[in-house]
Chains A and B, each alone.
Chain A
Amino acid sequence: MTPILPAERPRLSPRARLQTDRVTGKPIVLYPEGVLVLNPSGHAIATLCTGNDTLAEIVAKLSVQFGVSPATLLPQVTDFLDRLRSKNLLAIASQGKEES
């Protein structure tokens, strides 16, 4: 698994569903036989994984949202996305071509 690159466009896998847990009120990602409970930053990242923005663009948006420099955010966001990928919850498109 090669690390995700700044020019690639991550998108939540069709097998993943982002919703709110009605018991705890926390954001969660549901997938076959599993659930991932997101913290606020994970939720912010996952919400931007629509396939429209590149990783670099996502980091730029989060940088504005949280007032943290892109250089600080990039490794954190990459790390979170790699975790999603290791669970097969992320699809990645580069130049319109998609691979998982």
Chain B
Amino acid sequence: MVSATPRPFSLLAELTHRCPLHCPYCSNPVSLPPAREELRLDEWTRVFNEAAELGALHVGLSGGEPLARPDLVGLVAAARAAGLYSNLITSAIGLSRPKAAALKSAGLDSIQISVQSDEAPLADKIAGTNAHATKLEAARMVRELGFPLTINVVLHRLNIGRLPEIVALAERLGAERLELANTQFYGWAFQNRQELLPTRIQIDAATAAAFAARQRLQGKMEIIFVAPDYYGDRPKPCMHGWGRRHLTVNPRGDVLPCPTAGEIKSLQFDNVRENSLRWIWTESSAFNRFRGTEWMPEPCQSCEFREIDFGGCRCQAALLTADAANTDPACSLSPFRQKLIAFVESIQDVRTNSPAEASSRLSYRQNPK
């Protein structure tokens, strides 16, 4: 690539991997670093400032559960001082009214609450703990305090059929934004994909319902529907390109092009305790490994879509083909496509499992030591 290094637009700050929930599709790594290695407030403050200097505009304060950090108010204040637009990405467990008010005073801009379904029995089964009622209460309180609210729902075989009811719940809660994100199959979710991947019939119905809701609620509630790439012909333009718009810093300070990239074992990721964020973003070998198009093998190299989807997802290529540089098998042109198709076809005839039945077969996310 000859052009100058792009600027990052957003930083995902994974403040901790500790979490009161145990969702079986968690995007955190399957092996989690110990809590004692977490970056301190002064280290995060430096990261926020360096990210803003690089051009980042948004920071997602995420986890795990960011409320597990006792210094969260200070972290929010640091993000605000750096000029970043901050979004708290939370389960809402631990979000009391005084805490939320303190976060608002510190400059928190918006809050994103995850819900697992529209009703407690299923939602709690998925979260692996009784959390649903607490979440709804917190969502209402957040709106009363005047925060913009995003509701995020990860979709999978167990809840995707309830999409219209999930939209209705988000409306009742006064959400201004609703993310309907089909499960992406890495880490925990990959271990559970046999139970989680929706059938084609479910996907078609959900897609139609999501588009209808988007039309109906235009200007009131923004609806994002992330289609599952297992059912597409073209891969997703993952992160809009490797090291192009986004960076993730994990709890112990490793800097990643996306939250799951740490699972690519052939790459060495640098740490903010040893290097500046600018050096890592512009110079490090991990960030440059898949930048631009020169690294691409065929069929990507000569593909007319190469600067549209960037060859898809590196993590998925690593996971399904054992080489992160291969074309993402979610692309119909991938030589490894057949393996993915065979899996997708193998689950089409399953009857939709009951939550109780499914949960006995799911492996639930565990907490770091």
Contact = CB atoms under 8 A, between A and B. Distances in A.
Interface residues of A, number: 20
A15 B176 contact: yes
A21 interface: yes
A32 B176 CA distance: 10
A32 B83 CA distance: 14
B191 to A, nearest CB: 28
Contacts of B146: 14
Given A30-B57, A88-B176, A35 B9 contact: yes
Contact of B57 (A21, A85, A86, A100): A21
B9 A33 contact: no
A33 B83 CA distance: 15
A28 B9 CA distance: 13
Nearest to B53: A22
Contacts of A32: 85, 87, 109-110, 112, 148, 150, 176-177
Interface in A15-65: 15, 17, 19, 21-23, 28, 30-33, 35
B83 A19 contact: yes
Contact of B55 (A23, A30, A100): A23
A71 interface: no
Contacts of A15: 109-110, 148, 176
Contact of B85 (A13, A17, A86): A17
A19 B218 CA distance: 26
A1 B110 contact: no
Nearest to B221: A88
A22 B52 contact: yes
B70 interface: no
Interface in B44-67: 52-53, 55, 57-58
A82 to B, nearest CB: 9
A14 B148 contact: yes
Contacts of A100: 220
A40 B87 CA distance: 28
Contacts of B112: 32
B7 interface: yes
B57 to A, nearest CB: 6
Nearest to A32: B110
Contacts of B148: 13-15, 31-32
A88 B219 contact: yes
A32 B220 CA distance: 14
**Most chain-B CB neighbours within 10 Å: which of A13, A21, A88?**
A88
A1 B58 contact: no
A22 B219 contact: no
8 contacts: A15-B110, A15-B176, A22-B83, A23-B7, A30-B57, A32-B150, A85-B219, A87-B222
